[in-house]
Structure 1
Amino acid sequence: MRLKLVPDETNWDFFKYRNLTFGASVVAVIASLVIWLSIGLNFGIDFLGGTTIRTESAESVDVGAYRDAIAPLGLGDVTITEVFDPTFEADQNVAQIRIQAQEGAEAVTADTIAAVETALQEVDPSITFPSVESVGPKVSGELITTALLAVGASLLAILVYIWLRFEWQFSVGAVAALFHDVIVTIGLFSLLQIRFDLATIAALLTIIGYSINDTVVIFDRLRENLIKFKKTPLIEVMNRSVNETLSRTLMTSGTTLIALLALLILGGDVIRGFVFAILWGIIVGTYSSVYVAKNIVLMLGIDRDPKKPSEAGTQFADIDA
């Protein structure tokens, strides 16, 4: 006996309400852009600048106690993480405390750092502070630029890859779906004011990779079916392709979501934003693979000239990628 999330053969009409689903996606993208521009993002220390304090102690790191000790100081965004390294001694417990730059100052002042150290020493008298480093606005601006370049470069590379492997219509549909996923995710972060930092950028890049993987799997099956069913209308071939890959899509997304839900609930505050971004991205990415990428390919159409049967559905069918 084996688990079946869907029957072996399905014939669901995924494109019955294609105008409605595509219209909803367009509205979601526009709404996300409006929210992003009007509310803005809740940038973390990586993008705002601030100070990082490294601590060492003979006692175990208690992140909750550290946070409770620092909270009365009213320093805004404070991130506390325990650092693990196989080279550490048994009694070497290391933590990293990141404090955002205070209003009107490029870095946290010496008095503020002293207040933080005093508050932590009350919790753990054995604690020491081997290093204090500051990130100024200039470095933060460079990080924002680098993050945007990373996302843009990945989208451009995917555009070229899909264009070479399939036809240009497939490439446009795939990249449009990725833009949809990224913009909607950023809009949700802006609406909920979830901290946006370098970990979130890593999550966005993960979402892009996950979404394009699902899109390519369906595109591969679509290419095969376009050659097999030369006279079948394009929308029917698309429906067949999505149905044939449905079990794989649900199994892959479902198992990933189970792991992410566990991390979201039990992983703690440090990785919650990162995990939430990936979890949301997988949901919206699975949706966009069908209702954005395939809808665009359907609207643009594909050259299925019967005089060129060997090329039906792809200009580069012989490329092994």
Structure 2
Amino acid sequence: MRFNWDFDYIKISKYFYTFSIIITLLGILSLAVFGLNYGVDFRSGSNVDITASKSVTKEEIEPVLEEIGLAADEPQISAGSDRVNIRFPSVLNEEQESSLKASFNEKIDPEASFEVNTVDPEMAKELGRNAIYAVLLASLGIMIYVTIRFEWRFAVAAIVALLHDAFVVISIFSLFRWEVDLTFITAVLTIVGFSINDTIVVFDRIRENLRFSKIKTRTDLNEVVNRSISQTMTRSLYTTVTVFIASLFLFLLGGESIRMFSLAMVIGLVFGAYSSIFIASPLWAVLKGKQKPNHNNPSKTTP
């Protein structure tokens, strides 16, 4: 079944620019005021994941922690189902871990299993730095690749779009205080990959259509961009929806360890498809429209 995707994407792009700017400003404000809710991967402490054989509530856990002397650290407790997470701001020693496991098995659920992850302060700082470097290096590599394969205007538009996608996901996690851990960073880098893939497909079609078009005015240029987006829309949506459905079911049915990864993917895939259509391509059209014409051949412009 074929759909007609012909539409003036350039004309309405200003509304999407406004929407993206608003989200970006809200994200900056949220990060400045609240920051990110870092998981144990990025700050020192111990994270205890418990798989119980029954539903466990926070009210059942608190007396157990008080009894063994771990309530003074004011741990964050996430409970209400058979999956329980307790995050301690300080590192638990072997004796404290043993006491927690023994007390939980004795008082709440003898069949419960435990997974304890601990990160010291220096390792947390190093992981945070490496995460930032990974995103920056990925962006730099993509920019170099797109510049070589296409031109610098395509590269600028692509980088703006992928940074937009990454920052939107980070902003939403900051606004809703969702936990950021190493799987979140993996999700952001994966989103960057999907975003640039969608963008490159549209850019490749724009380049092909430019070869057979006589561009004399800004309107001609906009028509080429609109046509290129329309021609690639079905392919982009099929790819995005396929991965989106897989990520959504991973979020709904997957384990706690990949929950934030799946959630970040669900959000990032939506904005990745959105930015390729309404951010990257219209931005390239703006940059290309400012290019000086080649007087030797009016139908072409200088790079």
Q: Alpha-carbon deviations, 1:273-301, whole Å to 9, x = none?
A: 11010010000011111211112211111
Alignment of 1:60-209 (within 5 A): 62-63=51-52, 65=54, 71-72=61-62, 73=65, 75-76=75-76, 100-102=87-89, 105=90, 107-110=91-94, 112-122=96-106, 134-209=118-193
Tell me what 1:32 maps to.
Answer: 27
Tell me what 1:13 maps to.
Answer: 8
**Unmatched 5+ stretches in structure 2:** 66-70
Residues of 2 paired with 1:275 and 1:269: CA distance? 10
Residues of 1 paired with 2:40 and 2:189: CA distance? 20
Superposition TM-score, scaled by structure 1 size: 0.77
Structure 2 CA distance for partners of 1:139 and 1:244, relative to 1, 3 Å: same
Matched residue SS, 1:45: coil
Matched positions, count: 283
Cα drift, residue 100 of structure 1: 3.8
Residues of 2 paired with 1:254 and 1:268: CA distance? 22
Residues of 2 paired with 1:22 and 1:37: CA distance? 22
Whether the 8 Å CA contact 1:21–1:291 is kept in 2: the answer is: yes
Amino acid at match of 2:32: L
Residues of 2 paired with 1:154 and 1:24: CA distance? 26
**Unmatched 5+ stretches in structure 1:** 55-60, 80-96, 316-321
Tell me what 1:275 maps to.
Answer: 262
Q: Alpha-carbon deviations, 1:34-84, whole Å to 9, x = none?
A: 111111111100011223679xxxxxx9446597698432532679xxxxx
Superposition TM-score, scaled by structure 2 size: 0.82
Whether the 8 Å CA contact 1:22–1:295 is kept in 2: the answer is: no
Cα drift, residue 206 of structure 1: 0.4
Matched residue SS, 2:154: helix
Residues of 2 paired with 1:142 and 1:244: CA distance? 45
Cα drift, residue 268 of structure 1: 3.7
Matched residue SS, 1:301: helix
Cα drift, residue 228 of structure 1: 1.1
Cα drift, residue 134 of structure 1: 3.7
Q: Alpha-carbon deviations, 1:236-271, whole Å to 9, x = none?
A: 000000000011011111122221221121114332
Matched residue SS, 2:46: strand
Moved more, 295-304 or 185-194: 295-304
Cα drift, residue 198 of structure 1: 0.4
Amino acid at match of 1:169: R
Q: Alpha-carbon deviations, 1:98-153, whole Å to 9, x = none?
A: 86442xx4x22455323312134326768899x97742111100000011111111
Amino acid at match of 2:76: G
Name the structure where helix makes up a greater proportion of residues: 2
Moved more, 230-239 or 164-173: 230-239
Moved more, 156-165 or 223-232: 223-232
Identify which of 233, 240, 244 aligns with 1:257: 244
Whether the 8 Å CA contact 2:202–2:281 is kept in 1: the answer is: no
Q: Give the share of equivalent positions with the same residue, in percent.
A: 34
Whether the 8 Å CA contact 1:51–1:98 is kept in 2: the answer is: no
Cα drift, residue 230 of structure 1: 2.4
Moved more, 167-176 or 110-119: 110-119
Whether the 8 Å CA contact 2:209–2:228 is kept in 1: the answer is: yes
Alignment of 1:201-220 (within 5 A): 201-220=185-204
Q: Alpha-carbon deviations, 1:11-49, whole Å to 9, x = none?
A: 211122122211221222122111111111111000112
Tell me what 1:23 maps to.
Answer: 18
Residues of 1 paired with 2:113 and 2:257: CA distance? 22
